[in-house]
Amino acid sequence: MEWQPIETAPKDETHFLAIRHAPGFAHLPNAICWNPWIGNFAADAGPGATTPVKHQPTHWMPIPEAPK
């Protein structure tokens, strides 16, 4: 898995890891999803999350499988 440009992120409410790669930002990934009702990426608070992310992400990747 490699980071991909945010323009290629899924916009079907699939959750994924996102990161903002920019000077002055901590590079910690967050789980987010696209929310079509607000037309923006939303912080993950469960299905139907409506809180837009504060800083637009620049890259994304699928969430890896959990350890067994």
pLDDT in tens, the chain (68 residues): 799 999 999 998 888 999 987 777 767 788 888 888 888 888 755 555 667 777 788 999 999 999 99
Q: Please indicate, yes or no, if residue 49 is contained in any of the structural domains.
A: yes
Q: Residue 42 phi/psi, 5° resolution? A: -120, 145
Domain count, the chain: 1
Read off the pTM. 0.77
For the beta carbon of residue 24, count every other beta carbon within 10 angstroms: 5
Q: Please indicate, yes or no, if residue 67 is contained in any of the structural domains.
A: no
Q: What is the spatial distance between Cα 34 and Cα 49, in angstroms, rounded to a whole number?
A: 9
For residue 28, how far is the Cα from the chain centroid?
Answer: 11
Q: What is the residue type of 23?
A: P
Q: How many helices (H) and strands (E) does the chain have?
A: 0, 5
Q: Please indicate, yes or no, if residue 68 is contained in any of the structural domains.
A: no
Q: Please indicate, yes or no, if residue 29 is contained in any of the structural domains.
A: yes
Q: Which two tokens stand for residue 6?
A: 């945010």
